[in-house]
Amino acid sequence: MKVIESQTAVLSNYEVYQHLVDQRQRYKSKKRRGPPNLENVVQEVGGFSLLTVHLVDFADRSFYPSVQLLQYLQAAPGPLSQEPTTYTPESIAQLLERLRPFDLSKGEVVMILNVRPASVIGLNTVVEEMSERFTDEQQLEMVYIIADVLGKFETAEPDEGHDEAAEGGDVNMDDAAA
């Protein structure tokens, strides 16, 4: 394979997903076979990216291949798993426009698209030096903008075991002193 024109760009998960879907539809509609490595790229995901969603037994090497990349991008807890998807070219453009006053870096915006933080704590993991760069009101405003443009992402319900642990676990300082 020969590289004709090299380019470097940072892509969001949505852009990768859309590109793969478009490629697959393009070759299906023409009833042509795509490049020989297209299906390999779509089908195989290396073990490192699996670690973000699944716990992997490193000794079991047969687990790595045959994981669908498109399914991986649509798997919960990823933002693309929401049906109907709120990611569209228009919504991304609107998000970029509304976040422009905050002067976020390209990497930070891509991470916001990939992670879709629903709280200030989640946003803090994506934006560098957030507490030094932004006031509490600005941080909340960013979270509200993300929720307004991309919609609220439903999280899993807390399991009952977690609630019981919280009730029977730590006591506050006032109760401990009594």
Give SS3 for 74. Answer: helix
Q: Yes or no: say if 99 and 109 are a contact pair by the CB < 8 Å rule.
A: yes
Specify the CATH number of the domain 89-150.
Answer: 1.20.1250.40
Within 10 Å of residue 149's Cβ, how many Cβ atoms?
Answer: 19
Supply 76's token pair: 């919960």
The predicted-structure confidence for 36-71, as pLDDT tens digits, reads as follows 555 555 554 433 343 333 433 434 433 332 236 666
Output the CA–CA distances (angstroms, integers) from residue 16 to 13, 54, 70, in the order listed.
Answer: 5, 21, 9
* Residue extents of the structural domains in the chain: 11-30+50-83, 89-150
Q: Alpha-carbon distance 31 to 34, whole Å?
A: 9
CB-count exposure of residue 117 (10 Å: 0-12, 13-18, 19+):
buried
For CA atoms 34, 39, 40, 46, the dihedral sign is positive
CB-count exposure of residue 112 (10 Å: 0-12, 13-18, 19+):
buried
Q: Yes or no: say if 146 and 116 are a contact pair by the CB < 8 Å rule.
A: yes
CB-side neighbour CA atoms (13 Å) of 153: 24
pLDDT by 10s per residue, the chain, length 178: 566 666 677 777 788 778 777 777 777 776 666 555 555 555 544 333 433 334 334 344 333 322 366 666 666 667 666 676 778 889 889 999 999 999 999 999 999 988 888 899 999 999 999 999 999 999 999 999 999 998 876 655 444 444 444 444 445 555 555 5
